[in-house]
Amino acid sequence: MLVALKLYAGGLRDLADVVELLACNPHADLDAVRAACARFGLEAQFERVLASR
């Protein structure tokens, strides 16, 4: 949920925080994160962050 909130905020620091959160949690359930982002229409932003790391 924190990832979705950070993506919603959309600032440069927020996007960097998402990259950092994912890096610090390599075993995170990306499908669950993807589903949380999809609930708020943020799936494209999440996929862009994933592609950039």
- Full-model pTM: 0.89
Number of domains, the chain: 1
Quote the pLDDT of residue 14.
97
**Residue 16: per-residue pLDDT:** 96
**For the CA atoms of 12, 3, 6, 11, what is the dihedral angle to 10 degrees?**
10
pLDDT (tens, 9 = 90+) of the chain, 53 residues, equals 999 999 999 999 999 999 999 999 999 999 999 999 999 999 999 999 999 87
**Residue 42 belongs to what domain range?**
2-52
